[in-house]
Chain A
Amino acid sequence: MTDPLVSVITPVFNGENFIRSTLQSVFDQDYSNFEVIVIDDGSEDGTAQIIKSFPSVRYHYQQNQGIPRARNAGLSLARGEFVAFIDADDLWMPNKLSLQADHLRKNPEAGCVLTLQRLFAEGGGELPVWYAHQRFRQDHIGYFPSTLMARRYVFEIVGNYNPLFPLSESADWFARVKDAGIRIDVLNITLLQKRIHNLNAGLKRKETRSEMLSVLKQSIERKKERGSNPPPEVTLR
């Protein structure tokens, strides 16, 4: 059986510090049938030169439009049956694509599959205070695009990332997937190392919290429209 094509999408803005190691972790995968699409969202540093040193990357430049639109631009170019994302400062374990593609192939009823993630501090330092909580020091489920592999048609069902939620676009998308009753599986193995540093967009607390509340309000409205059917459970494999 032929391995399904996986489209790997990397949005990047001024990512020269880490994009090389990120892309290298993609090309070090033990899965061969993938394409890499990098959406350069208006970088003004050396990002483009680094990306072009990886000849097989499909490079697309656009004026800065924010991360949801950059992810969506990648989706519009994707040709794979499956889609995966990796943000330009994260690192994959070498068997990330193979394990997830294998899982989706063997579980046709699953729309997407996540993995556990491990946080690490830039420069090997200590994680910031709130990450010191026990649940972040342990490897945990990453509800982030960098741990996700999804069937491309899931995006056709629930839609792409919402540009109205530049900080919580991932939460909004996962909520829509759950509300649509699409099964989200989790591989109980750590396949992402997520870099934490001072400019992580998620650290903009006030704006993030405000967006998250709007995301949940929309999800509540969808549930009320749907009736009292319970949302699907996340299942561990």
Chain B
Amino acid sequence: MISLSKTYSVNRQQVVHDTIDGEVVSINLESGNYYSMNDLAAEIWNWIHAEGMHSKIVRRLYEQYDGNPSEMADSLERFIQQLLEEGLIREIEAKNTELAMPSAVKARPSLSSAQKKPFVAPKLEKYTDMQEFLLVDPIHEVDEEGWPHKKSSSNFSPS
């Protein structure tokens, strides 16, 4: 059971991600797997990226989506568990334990049911077919400046 007090963050050490036309694409550089998230999955990912406090994620979910509350909670927990298992996010120490407590889940003016989006379980789509490629591709750790070494004019310069 995932506690409301938990806080998550994107596993920046090994994950590259971007939102392109509403779809989150992420790569786990350690495994070479890559992932697609759409709709609610993309929204939850961006909530985690912005501020991963579990209590706030739950609150946003209930504020913006309409569905069976226990089904929504179970789906959310399964999704977060998947993200953890795939190494895409990690659990971090909450900076403010008071805020991280369930009591901090404060009610906001809630949307009416008609204004809320219908709940559809978030889905993490996983792809493994580029593993060998991604594990050896030069997208891994390197300083922004590149490799400090003697200057050379040999390499191709893309226009």
For residue B91, CB closer than 8 A to chain A, the reply is: no
Bound complex: CA A204 to CA B157 (Å): 11
Taking chain A's interface residues, is the majority helix, strand, or loop, or is none over half, making it mixed?
mixed
With A205-B139, A212-B139, A223-B127 known as contacts, the answer to whether A198 contacts B149 (CB < 8 A) is yes
B149–A125 touching, CB < 8 Å: yes
Which chain B residues numbered 101 to 159 have a C-beta less than 8 Å away from chain A? Answer: 125, 127, 129-130, 132-144, 146-159
**CB of A199, distance to nearest CB on chain B (Å):** 4
Taking chain B's interface residues, is the majority helix, strand, or loop, or is none over half, making it mixed?
loop
On chain A, the residues within 8 Å of B153 by CB distance are 14, 16-17, 45, 199
With A171-B137, A201-B158 known as contacts, the answer to whether A213 contacts B16 (CB < 8 A) is yes
A13–B20 touching, CB < 8 Å: no
**CB of A112, distance to nearest CB on chain B (Å):** 13
For residue A167, CB closer than 8 A to chain B, the reply is: yes
A66–B159 touching, CB < 8 Å: yes
| Contact among B137, B143, B149 with A122 in the assembled complex (CB-CB below 8 Å) | B149
Bound complex: CA A88 to CA B158 (Å): 14
| Most chain B C-beta atoms within 10 Å of own C-beta, residue among A135, A174, A205, A234 | A205
For residue A111, CB closer than 8 A to chain B, the reply is: no
B156–A198 touching, CB < 8 Å: no
Bound complex: CA A205 to CA B146 (Å): 8
For residue B25, CB closer than 8 A to chain A, the reply is: yes
| Contact among A16, A17, A167, A198 with B158 in the assembled complex (CB-CB below 8 Å) | A167
Which chain A residues numbered 94 to 143 have a C-beta less than 8 Å away from chain B? Answer: 121-123, 125, 128-130, 133, 135-136, 140-143
A88–B156 touching, CB < 8 Å: yes
B140–A216 touching, CB < 8 Å: no
For residue A183, CB closer than 8 A to chain B, the reply is: no
For residue A18, CB closer than 8 A to chain B, the reply is: yes
| B-contact bits for A210-237, CB 8 A (1 contact / 0 none) | 1011101101100100000011001000
A residues near B (Cβ < 8 Å) are 11-19, 41, 45, 64-67, 70, 87-89, 121-123, 125, 128-130, 133, 135-136, 140-143, 166-167, 171, 174-175, 178, 195-206, 208-210, 212-214, 216-217, 219-220, 223, 230-231, 234
With A130-B141, A213-B17, A231-B129 known, 12 other A-B pairs at CB within 8 A are A11-B156, A15-B154, A89-B155, A121-B149, A122-B150, A171-B133, A198-B148, A198-B150, A199-B151, A216-B27, A217-B20, A220-B25
